[in-house]
A and B are shown apart, each in its own frame.
Chain A
Amino acid sequence: MYPLFNPNKTALTPFLFFTGKGGVGKTSTACATAVSLADQGKKVLLVSTDPASNLQDVLGVELTNDPLAIPSVNNLFACNIDPEASAKAYREKVVGPYRGKLPDAVLSTMEEQLSGACTVEIAAFDEFSHLLSDEDVLNQYDHVLFDTAPTGHTLRLLQLPTAWTGFLEESTHGASCLGPLSGLGEKKELYAKAVESLSNPEKTTLILVSRPDVSSLVEANRASSELKDIGIKNQLLIINGLLQTHRPDDSVSTAFSERQRRALKETPEALKQVVTFSLPFVSYSLTGVDNLRHLFSSYTMTVFEDDSLSKETIYLPGLNKVIDDFSSKNIRVIFTMGKGGVGKTSIASAMAVGLSEKGHRVHLTTTDPAAHLAYTFEGGALRDNLTISSINPEIEVKKYQQEVLLAAGEGLDEEGIAYLKEDLESPCTEEIALFRAFADVVEKSENEIVVIDTAPTGHTLLLLDSTEAYHKEMSRSTGNVPESVKKLLPRLRNPKETGVVIVTLAEATPVLEAARLQEVLKRAQIDPKWWVINQSLYATDTTDAVLKGRAVSEIEWIKKVKEELAPQCAVIPWLHEEKIGYDSLKEFIDA
């Protein structure tokens, strides 16, 4: 029903931004588009701006900040802007010249201040705007593709230009919060140019990528309207992973296809106005240049190994074992973590339901900016011992701003208040507000089990990172730090109290990302207890050729998780119905 997306047949602008809910295939789509354009003889630069980028997994090459020629594809160059690394480089640029001139203790206070979330955001934006406004880049490349992964991050990254141009203009007395980037004023022109490029339809196209499922379509719609509002109006939508045909005699295949069609019917009205293409659901995984090339040549099938791999090869328990484990060990705080789109919300919800069924008092909450908790419980009646809340970044920021103005605004004159308000508009305020909200919820676990459905990976990392910074900061803060905030990190680190569940799909990118996430958590002295492999086709009995192809390709990743990565591992088969409502969530547990 939608024409197949084909970069050879569609005229594309020089700058292409891929956005969408985590896990919808932005990276593979961006890579396949880049490869296809390069194969046409266009000179292409592919840029990742995600702190937890998986571009290198898909291309099979180690990437750095500097564009690198991809050996197997002529004309294709790729780089990975790591905001953490940029922030570090920036920090050294500021502090370096003063080594030996100022005492070490003084230098380390500088470094500490330059380690905050704002510096990272600013450094990333800085790199990003260079590419957007540098004439040389446009002269050198025909197309620059940005693979911007988790949506929350994408939005912030893209929204910054407008916010900052306004910020810089309004700041008459030196924008104090932008302090971490001294000499920002000089860059005003650069940023203005970046904003201009973004909103110029001749230069920039926003490519919304969505799966044919309700939650990723809702997210695409949200991104579409938000970005339209800030002037990025040239948009197109790609429905990725559309099942072309199905076997009527195969229940999984029929349900799979039905579910996709139903979801597409419910596409939000505004999103229907966007020019839409599709990409087929394919039996192979979209890694490696050869497979990427196949995508636009409409190959949906490849020969897969025959059935010698029987179901008995891998035995894994279901989600009920995870719930039993946490229930018997009296775990008080439970997180689900993982790349966006792997089903953290469903699994967190199902665990909350399972624990409440066992008689525990449970509170379920989410920090996911693309929260669908309300949706997950739609129509279902809640039990008395299960409560739900969500941490909405926008609301939390407003709450925090009001609280600050109330506490500190007393005795200030109007201009003083205006001055304070200006700092409260800064990028780091959101991180702080979110962190406090997060701490408040965890505080509740003294009376009940708290199940937290965290945000996509990149965001989660930033959140945890600010946890660290927070602790350093607190030791010398003079203001009143809420008790909940002080107690948070030690609680997260206590294995008797906290259980971290890593959710993944049996595919290359989600598994590799989850492995990286686990590394980062371990560095922060947090040890995940369980891995849950969600939406496994291998765990179903499908006979559909395309789905079966996928099921077979899951094996190597299930094995990797079970044998190398997870301390304990559970699997949930691909389920026929989307889990909406309390009763159907229970089905999830026993599947």
Chain B
Amino acid sequence: MKKVEIFDPAMCCSTGVCGPSVDPELTRVASAVYSLEQKKFDITRYNLGNDPGAFVDNEVVNKVLLEKGPDALPLILVNNEVVKVGAYPTNEELAEWLDVKTAELQEKPRVRVSVKFDK
């Protein structure tokens, strides 16, 4: 399975609601990543604001940051190779990298219903 890593800029919260206005792009990514995590895909987000170590330890990321500065974020790696700089992946891209259907990323969660029959 492919490994997807998203290196976020320093953010107070990953949904973007803490900013002066909500960025719909951030909430879309947050919810897509969440649904992929639920399906046990290997996808991870690192926030510069609370996990700066990841931006130093990963040599690829560190090199891009030293060259391009904070504008390079968000930075997307697939199997440790840079695939996107300064923008979040679209749902289509995520679906392609991880070999899932785009629809699955927006799929409504299944609700488990348990029914008891009185005998």
Q: Which residues of A contact B (CB under 8 A)?
A: 94-95, 97-98, 101-103, 105-106, 109-110, 112-114, 116, 118, 173, 176-177, 179-182, 404, 407-416, 419-420, 423-424, 426, 428-429, 432, 470, 473-474, 477-482, 485
Contacts and interface: CB of A to CB of B under 8 A. Distances in A.
A179 B50 contact: yes
Given A177-B18, A413-B109, 11 more contacts: A94-B52, A101-B56, A177-B17, A408-B16, A411-B106, A428-B18, A473-B19, A477-B23, A478-B23, A480-B21, A485-B20
Contacts of A181: 50
Given A428-B18, A429-B17, A482-B21, A180 B31 contact: no
B27 A180 contact: no
Contacts of B53: 98
A182 B20 contact: no
Contacts of A429: 17-18
B17 A420 contact: yes
Listed residue (B27, B35, B56) with the most chain A CB atoms within 10 angstroms of its CB: B27
A116 B23 CA distance: 18
Contacts of B109: 413-415
Contacts of A94: 50, 52
Contact of A415 (B31, B51, B55, B69): B31
Contact of A114 (B15, B25, B34, B49): B49
A324 B14 CA distance: 50
Interface residues of B, number: 43
Given A101-B56, A419-B30, A479-B24, A176 B108 contact: no
A174 B18 CA distance: 16
What does DSSP make chain A's interface, helix, strand, loop or mixed?
Answer: helix
A407 B24 contact: yes
Interface stretch (B5-13, B77-85, B93-101): B5-13
Contact of B51 (A102, A182, A426, A473): A182
Q: Which 7 A/B pairs are nearest by Cβ-Cβ distance?
A: A416-B31, A479-B21, A182-B50, A113-B10, A177-B13, A176-B14, A179-B50
Nearest to B61: A102
Contact of A98 (B16, B56, B69): B56
A252 B93 CA distance: 78
B89 to A, nearest CB: 16
Nearest to B111: A414
B55 A102 contact: yes
A570 to B, nearest CB: 37
Interface in B53-79: 53, 55-56, 62, 65-66, 69-70
A481 B23 CA distance: 10
Nearest to A431: B18
Contacts of B35: 413, 415-416
A308 B38 CA distance: 81
A176 B28 contact: no
A477 to B, nearest CB: 5
A101 B55 CA distance: 9
Nearest to A173: B34
B69 A106 contact: yes
Contacts of A470: 20
B24 A408 contact: yes
A411 B11 contact: no
9 contacts: A113-B12, A116-B12, A118-B12, A413-B31, A414-B108, A415-B34, A419-B31, A420-B15, A420-B17
B30 A416 contact: yes
Given A173-B34, A407-B24, A408-B27, A106 B48 contact: yes
Given A182-B50, A423-B18, A413 B13 contact: no
B11 A113 contact: yes
B32 to A, nearest CB: 8
B92 interface: no
